[in-house]
Amino acid sequence: MARYRGPRLRVVRRLGELPGLTRKTPRRSYPPGQHGQARKKRSEYAIRLEEKQKLRFNYGISEKQLITYVRKARRATGSTGQSLLRLLEMRLDNTVFRLGMAGTIPAARQLVGHGHITVNGRSVNIPSYQCRVGDVIAVRDNERSRDLVRRNMEYPGLAHLPTHLAFDKNTLVGTVNSLIEREWIALQVNELLVVEYYSRQV
């Protein structure tokens, strides 16, 4: 099952801030569970596992999907870690979230899955669709879809629009102008540790 349906703040307490998963902040700063406050020395494997889990929970993807993305990133030119983050950031559900049409990535995935979003004038209901430079992402031309997105825009997930995207709030049309730069990725993650985690598996 790709989607996580459990308590989100429990995951945030364990892994740190995940802007794509939830806008809420936990009241307690220590990890959940009976031994959450006990200071334990973590192994190198545990640290790599945590970094990998950050990607999984923030972008809402399954282990199988993440392995597929790591394989694609390996084949791409340049840094494998940055290629991996770029592939995840250019997913349609994440792009809709970064444009401010939804407060979280799960909410953006629901918008896409229910057919409220179009890419280059055609309805696309696949959240994992890879956006390309020049793609025009818009809300379907009906009142229900537009009202839904306008309500979502009252409570946006992230304050700043990344430089690789442009968005017209009046027409509800966004454009992908370029590939995302590393500094505009909101998630605090060490992508090199994720690549190391999968080095033996992939």
Assess if residue 1 is contained within a domain: no
What's the chain's average pLDDT?
A: 89
Assess if residue 161 is contained within a domain: yes
Do both 160 and 189 map to the same domain? no
Assess if residue 3 is contained within a domain: no
Do both 57 and 127 map to the same domain? no
Assess if residue 33 is contained within a domain: yes
Q: State pLDDT tens for residues 106-142.
A: 999 999 999 999 999 999 999 999 999 999 999 998 9
Assess if residue 72 is contained within a domain: yes
Do both 41 and 97 map to the same domain? no
Assess if residue 159 is contained within a domain: yes
Residue 41 belongs to a domain with what CATH number? 1.10.1050.10
- Cα separation of 65 and 179, whole Å? 21
Cβ neighbours for 105, distance < 8 A, ≥ 6 positions apart: 20, 21, 58, 59, 60, 93, 94, 97
Cα–Cα distances (Å) from 39 to 30, 31, 35, 117, in that order, read 10, 10, 8, 46
Closest CA to 59 of 14, 115, 104: 104
Do both 55 and 69 map to the same domain? yes
Residue 125 belongs to a domain with what CATH number? 3.10.290.10
Assess if residue 202 is contained within a domain: no
**Domain total for the chain?**
2
Range of the domain at 36: 8-87+184-197
Between 147 and 155, whose confidence is greater?
Answer: 147
DSSP code of residue 130: B
Contact 138, 92 (CB under 8 A): no
pLDDT at 1: 45
Do both 102 and 161 map to the same domain? yes
Do both 32 and 107 map to the same domain? no
Q: State pLDDT tens for residues 5-49.
A: 888 888 888 888 888 888 777 887 777 776 666 767 888 998 999
Do both 54 and 115 map to the same domain? no
3-state secondary structure of 187: coil
Do both 108 and 152 map to the same domain? yes
Do both 101 and 73 map to the same domain? no
Do both 25 and 39 map to the same domain? yes
Do both 71 and 103 map to the same domain? no
